[in-house]
Structure 1
Amino acid sequence: MKNSAYTVKILSALVLIGFLAWGCAPMQQPIKSADLLSTPNLLVEADAAWKAKHWEAVELYYAAALERPDLVKSELPTVYVRLAESASRNGHYHQARIALEQWANTDTQALERADWERLYLDAMGALGKTERLANHLQWVLGATNVPWPTKQEVALWFADYYGTHEDYERALDVLDRFYAQAPDEQAKSLFEHEFSQRLANLDDTRVDDLAKAVTPTNQWRFPYALVAFERGVRTASDSAAWSADWRTLRDLATSGELADPIPLRNKLAELEARYGVPRIGLALALPVTGPYAKVGVKILRGAGLAQWRLAQEGVDVDLRVINTEAPGWETRLAQLPSHFTVVGGPLRIDAFKRFYEADSPAAGVLQKRAVFAFLSSLGDLTEGKDAWRFFTSRVDEVRSLVQLTVDKLGITDLAVFYPEEKFGRTMAQTFYSEAAPLGGRIKGMQSYPPHELKQWTRRVGKLLNVPQDFSDNKDVPLPMPDFGAVFIPDGWRQAQTLLPNFFFYEGDQLVFLGPGLWSRALDDAKDVDEHYYRLAVCPGAWWDGSDGGRALQTALTEEGLGQADFWVALGYDFLRFAGKLGTLPASWDSALVNKRIHKAEDMDFSMAPMTWDESGTASQDLYLFTPAANGKRIVDPEKFADRIAKAKARRERRMENYEKRLEEDGRPASATGQ
């Protein structure tokens, strides 16, 4: 108590010096000399000064009261908290800290009080004690004896503190961590309401800054959902943004992981009454008659399911189908009402060209509507500027294959065996261009005439560097090729004829890389001879065993809509994606579309997920399959590597057996030509 009294005396002296320095500035009321007042009267004067918010007098009186030996112990909490509060108000943060620490020394339960925590944090923040603040935050988070109301106060203080220091991720992370400790739903609800009120009082710039910490992963939970919602509310009056904002607000109000979503739903209803419920216009340009009708109808089946599901959630999608096989389809597309601002398709490149050919009635569609083509490439157009892609690209296929061989199988030496036609040449060039940046080295490149089957065996032999006298020395093992995997960009039917030729030339230890054409063909394949395809791999955007694939099949089964496949998944995913894009304003540009895509891509895809970079270029993280007896199965890299090792071991045993025979015959091993 001796040290404590001494500290208080110093504190009182400092306060008095401050008042003397303050000089003749006007005061709310005269300060009586504390020395002339009894302790009860001193407390009466202190209380009166407190009620009058005369902070200089409050600080002086309560500092003096702490010196009195007859001060009743029950008065201490009031004295300390008011002394700390007034000292903070006067900018005397050292004094506030001293008072608070004295209080904690005499009563450790003081730290469990919300007022103590707030004042202590204010003092530490003003004094720049960042390390002490960080330590205190961790202590409160881990303390089991600190009651929830106090923890909530600490959480909100730190959120504001980090926000003012432009550390927005930490500001929201603190709230997230404390929210997880809330004892029940009511406590969480009150926490949400308090934070929502504070958000409402922030200016637009601060809300925008906080929104930078919201990601597609965290946006559904507190506090991120409330930040995203508040930001949407702030921009709701912008008619150009309302369609997309409405979808975001609606998703958060209905799907947010909050204890009490009612305030969000009430606010959304208020905004809908003011600005209306947007109607999303979507056109699908697809072949629904003719040779490609089967594919077009499957896409429509998936889109129809998505439209029905969205309607049940209150999202109105006005869907129009334009049959690209019917005469005059370009005119019908061009004449759609203005709210049809997004187009899915077409499915064929010749139909897509009608969007920018000068003599086409659809020549202006790319300027009026955002077109998402179901094509692997947009040809001469710039993706993300002239139009967009909602389909697997050739680069996606090649990247997935090279990443498997180089990164997971350790095969860096590669070859390409391609047909002499447009698709084969294009895919071969893509593979050649993409392999090197990913760590692959092209050691062999060989073409073959696609319609001259008799040439195929000879061309395979040329790729494998088979000696010309092979037919005369069939007992001599062939040299190992200088590559471990070969890319064959041709159809599955052609592959079934090509691959046995590699086995004829003892290439059964090679990994055969096929395009996505193999994967789609294998969806309907039966009785596949696995002997030739144990080391074959192909990429694909559809896997019925994925979470998204199973969810789609369940939805189709519930509605009696048959079997899911890639084309059904394409329609289902695209319509839901377009619904999140919303209706584009009349003044839209590619930058706006790319910005909306960034939000729309955050969805549960039924096919392999797609993403778009800032420039609007799409990419897809494809699945990898190997042919199986009844179609295909997903590749397990470890098991696949084990198969490669076994195939190489068989090749080595053949060589060892041949060398043994040479030794038995007294011939040198060099006769093998290895």
Structure 2
Amino acid sequence: MLRSALSCAALILLASCAPKKVESPLEKAPPARIAEARALASSGDVRGAQNAYETFIINHPGTTEADLARLELGILGSDIGRCQSAVPHFEQAQDSADHAIALRALLHLGACQLQLGDPERALQTIEPLAGERFSTEEQALLWDTAVIAAEQTTNAALALGIFDGLIQHGEAPPDPQRVDAVIDVLVQKLTIEETELLFDELRAGALPHVAVSMRLLDHALDTQDAEWVVRASDALRASDSISDPEVTLSVARADEFLHGNPYVVGALLPLSGRGREVGRQILQGMQLAALDEGGPELVVQDTAGDPSKTTAAVEALIGDQRVVAVLGPVGSRTTEAAAASTRRAGVPLLSFSASEETTSAGEQVFRFLYSLRDELTALVGKARARGLSRFVILYPDHGYGRTMERLFDQEVAAAGGVYCEGVAYPPGTKSFVDYVRTVLETTCDVVLFADVADQVALIAPTFAAEGAWSIAKGALPEHAEREVHFLLPSLSWSTKLVSRAGRYLQGALVALPFYEASEATLNQHFRTAYETRYGRPPQMFSAYGYDAYRLISATLRQGNQTRQALTDALKSGSGVTPVTSVDSFSSERTPAHPPQVYEVQGGLLQSVE
């Protein structure tokens, strides 16, 4: 890297604010006996100089002058390779009342500790000196001690902190390229946790911080961690090192990662294993939309309905394909697994899970399907708008049925209605006479069916046989004893239900996000194109896939071509004309409008406004 030249340039700019040079007045005008000792040392009489220093120390105990003598005696010993005997002199001199003497003693003590094979202790000793400025010779000693100790140390964080201070306050290092190399090695010794801490502690833009930012950016790109990609790349972009080709390339990689490829969208669906039929329908809807739209390439990964496989699949979409968004997966458990990866990478995820907890998986997670509560809210609201107020549920005694009973009770109360105790029956029941009679014994006349269409086809005629009829308009049949009003969520509906039990379901309200017989122009096109391509009518999940792809494609065409821009636009209500009821998202990242409610009239469904 070209960081050496940059480091020197930064140091030149800092020269005007460098700290005052470490120097004691005593050093300039020492006592005569210390001057004599210096002269002896200069002439090569090491023994005579040592005796002179020692005599002065004995004769002037506890004085600053004695501290200066100890310092110079220690330096004399270290210069001739006798650090072992010099260390006690430095250790005493470091406590001197003369600040300059104390600092110089620390410097030479650290240098001796390094010579004696203790780089960790040497770094700890010189750490307080990183912000000081010594004479040219001693500044070089400080740099040499720091560099050599850093090359040998296991305490990389301490060494980087020392370099940070030296670069900020000192002069240019004697060997800038060696410093660069040592800093690179030190950063690689750090754990990621240590690196993250140093990112906040080191000076932004300085060489150690640049190296730390590069390490964090590489790791964040490998782990697809968008938050750290942003932080590290922003730090590099703001530094002088941005002109370094290696830094420039890393920042470019970060931008590519954060933005994603606006021409590629991922599909995360169960194409094998449990849920494969739903996954196949959604995929066919998406593929048809891609043909219609001519939009982004659709790259598909199979989750097999398994959370662990989902994690691997979504990471491949994000890391290898750089998708700008992910459509899917299906189900709450696989959505949670996928969201863990898309959240780190900042990728919008449009989930085909109906769970109300879907969006809690992350700020970029959108729920494309209606929840059970959404459908019940719509049904109860339409019934209340017609003046109906007394509600009861007939449900199978299993997980789905019990969930619907609990939610229905809540929604009726929220709408100001009266709720009669629900009537449960064993799953798989074929004769409903006793259960229907129990319902009719209540004072409630609005009945929610919480079972599949095949069961509804048995239940509705049973009400009529007991004299309770649902009608659309006009008078009750002559043999009818009372009127009832039926509510059906989407799970209770099928295209065959009208032919099997339509006579007994007239006037029933149905919450249906997608009505396959809709006469809307787009719906007719979708139905015709789907039947032509796949040889059968589209189902609700096919329609969901069709609209999900079209919504992403339309939002990208509006200029929202990065992951963040796409996410923000979807949160802000960017929409499309749909074949389902989902045309856009609310700020809570759920469908912006309730599911369409229809009324059974003759052999068709009529929209209820």
TM-score (norm 2): 0.48
Whose radius of gyration is greater, 1 or 2? Answer: 2
TM-score (norm 1): 0.44
